[in-house]
Amino acid sequence: MKHSIKDIKTLFLLAITLTVSYISQASAQNEPIRDSSVTDSIVAEIDPMDSVEVSLLTCSPHEEIYSLYGHSAIRWHDLHQEGPTKGQDLIFNWGMFSFSKPYFALRFVFGLTDYELVCMDYSRFWPYYQKWGSSITEQVLNLTPAEKRKIQHALAENLREENRVYRYNFFYDNCSTRPRDIIERNLNGKIEWAEREDFAPTFREMVRECNRNHSWSKAGNDMLLGLKADLKTNRIEQEFLPVNLMTDMAMAQVYENGEYRPLVKEQRMLVPPGVQLIERDWILTPTEVAILLLILCIAIVWIEWRRKKRFRWWDVTLMLIQGLVGCILTVMLFSQHPTTTLNLNYLLFNPLPFFFIPSVIKRKTTVWRMVLITMLGLFAIGAIFQSYAEGMGIVALCLLTRIIKHEK
């Protein structure tokens, strides 16, 4: 399940998959427990609950494309050394998926990807993150025995065959939001969250930060994320990232019967951060590629001016590229991902150029030039409302060079 970006032709598709990547932080080495005796022991009441620790685990990102966003899981650790569940140490992981499932990439594009909750031994969970240099932070929750029992039954219910698979959503329903909801819904009191007034990033800003070392992945995400990704987020929306959930949990308190108690009783480092090797992107960044394209466009314009003619083959080439990128964005208009449907990149990159290729080949370029000028103008206005991908402004300048008329 480990994949890296090697072929620039698949960047946009892999960026979507990312960022399934988003997201997914599971690996084939984390084999789930499917023994019915384990689930039976979870369902069984444990008394007393004082020997049980229920924790939120937060795993820092590492350089696999699907792990750039970190990971969250719930740990159920019975410290009692007697009885049927003595020493039981289980991880509840909502981040399992498989690239081998039919039409995985296509289903992810349309927001139809299913993820799965699995239960695994802690001993099989932590070595994977240690191997990749990721840290694991444990936040032991400050729960009453009754609250532990409620969480116990909620986990067992989620682990049932008919409940363990869920429809994954990168921003709103993932391996970070699922543990949060299990915890919050099974407290006897109410969680009082400490809002961070000085922290209101957009979805795009948070995704960019996670992809800061991977310029092509970041550019691919920016092309596919639309206008809604540039809106300021609230605390609940920010918690799609495990690190944000961990920060909020540390400051949260539980209000019950007129009294407050910290939600987190203890925070400790289970696996310290190790050395991570940053995988190199392609040798050129998106901006550098865009600059080279602009230089080529200017050189072609100069040659056209000297020869007093227009290179129709170059017009057609740019129109094909523009239209093909537009087809990808058109597909995303039908996606169930809520942040991709309203995308202002569509003002410039859409299938419309395909319809004008025949007229350009016949040297009838007047109408196409007017259409292109309109598209470029709308695209420029759209920059006020939506942040475009790296190098897109330069690409727009490349297309702008094609409005110049060189025919005699």
pLDDT at residue 11, as a whole number: 33
Model confidence band, residue 114 (pLDDT cutoffs 50, 70, 90): confident
The answer to whether residues 315 and 223 belong to one domain is no
The answer to whether residues 383 and 266 belong to one domain is no
Residue 324 covered by a domain: yes
Amino acid at 144: T
User: What average pLDDT does the structure give for the chain?
Assistant: 85
The answer to whether residues 256 and 315 belong to one domain is no
The answer to whether residues 378 and 350 belong to one domain is yes
Give the mean model confidence (pLDDT) for residues 133-155: 95
pLDDT at residue 19, as a whole number: 35
> Of 240, 271, 302, which one is at a domain's C-terminal end?
271
pLDDT at residue 43, as a whole number: 46
The answer to whether residues 267 and 293 belong to one domain is no
How far apart are alpha carbons 353 and 316 in whole angstroms? Answer: 9
The answer to whether residues 172 and 318 belong to one domain is no
Give the mean model confidence (pLDDT) for residues 271-275: 89
Residue 2 covered by a domain: no
Phi, psi of 270 (to 5 degrees): -80, -45
> Of 237, 271, 305, which one is at a domain's C-terminal end?
271
Model confidence band, residue 99 (pLDDT cutoffs 50, 70, 90): low
pLDDT at residue 27, as a whole number: 36
Residue 344 vs residues 93, 286, 318, 362, 405: alpha-carbon distances, Å: 36, 19, 19, 31, 28
Q: Are 232 and 199 in contact (CB under 8 A)?
A: no
Listed range (4-18, 208-222, 288-302) with the worst mean pLDDT: 4-18
Give the mean model confidence (pLDDT) for residues 263-281: 88
pLDDT, one tens digit per residue, over 290-345 is 999 999 999 999 999 999 888 999 999 999 999 999 998 988 887 777 888 899 99
How far apart are alpha carbons 187 and 190 in whole angstroms? Answer: 7
Give the mean model confidence (pLDDT) for residues 131-155: 95
Residue 279 covered by a domain: no
Cα 145 off chain centre by:
36
Give the mean model confidence (pLDDT) for residues 45-55: 76
The answer to whether residues 164 and 18 belong to one domain is yes
pLDDT at 50 over 60: yes
How far apart are alpha carbons 103 and 128 in whole angstroms? Answer: 27
Phi, psi of 291 (to 5 degrees): -65, -45
The answer to whether residues 208 and 351 belong to one domain is no
How far apart are alpha carbons 207 and 68 in whole angstroms? Answer: 9
The answer to whether residues 77 and 104 belong to one domain is yes
Most confident range (mean pLDDT) of 5-19, 60-74, 258-272 is: 258-272
Closest among 299, 319, 331 to 375, alpha carbons compared: 319
pLDDT at 3 over 80: no
What is the SS3 assignment for 92? strand
pLDDT at 72 over 60: yes
- The residue that leads in pLDDT, 305 or 12, is 305
Closest among 330, 322, 342 to 398, alpha carbons compared: 322
pLDDT at 351 over 70: yes
How far apart are alpha carbons 30 and 122 in whole angstroms? Answer: 9
Residue 277 covered by a domain: no
Residue 1 covered by a domain: no
Residue 298 covered by a domain: yes
Q: Which domain holds residue 164?
A: 8-271
pLDDT at residue 234, as a whole number: 94
pLDDT at residue 276, as a whole number: 77
pLDDT at residue 57, as a whole number: 98
Closest among 7, 163, 24, 29 to 104, alpha carbons compared: 24
The answer to whether residues 21 and 164 belong to one domain is yes
Model confidence band, residue 70 (pLDDT cutoffs 50, 70, 90): very high
Give the mean model confidence (pLDDT) for residues 356-381: 94
Closest among 278, 277, 282, 233 to 391, alpha carbons compared: 282
Per-residue buried b or exposed e for 143-161, using 16+ beta carbons within 10 Å of the residue's own CB: bbeebbbbbbebbbebbee
What is the SS3 assignment for 36? helix
Give the mean model confidence (pLDDT) for residues 105-110: 67
Percent of the chain with pLDDT over 70: 82
Phi, psi of 309 (to 5 degrees): -150, 165
pLDDT at residue 91, as a whole number: 96
- The residue that leads in pLDDT, 33 or 78, is 78
- The residue that leads in pLDDT, 196 or 371, is 371
Give the mean model confidence (pLDDT) for residues 93-108: 72
- Burial label, 334 (beta-carbon count in 10 A; 0-12, 13-18, 19+): exposed
How far apart are alpha carbons 363 and 405 in whole angstroms? Answer: 11
> Of 220, 239, 271, which one is at a domain's C-terminal end?
271
Listed range (95-104, 171-180, 252-261, 378-387) with the worst mean pLDDT: 95-104
How far apart are alpha carbons 204 and 231 in whole angstroms? Answer: 9
pLDDT at 106 over 90: no
The answer to whether residues 36 and 163 belong to one domain is yes
Give the mean model confidence (pLDDT) for residues 258-276: 93
User: Residue 119: which H helix or E strand, with range?
Assistant: strand 114-121
pLDDT at 14 over 70: no
pLDDT at residue 292, as a whole number: 97
How many separate domains does the chain show?
A: 2
Residue 307 covered by a domain: yes
Listed range (15-19, 233-237, 377-381) with the worst mean pLDDT: 15-19
Q: Are 137 and 249 in contact (CB under 8 A)?
A: no
The answer to whether residues 387 and 244 belong to one domain is no
pLDDT at residue 89, as a whole number: 94
Residue 365 covered by a domain: yes
How far apart are alpha carbons 321 and 327 in whole angstroms? Answer: 10
In the DSSP assignment, the letter for residue 33 is B
How far apart are alpha carbons 368 and 357 in whole angstroms? Answer: 9
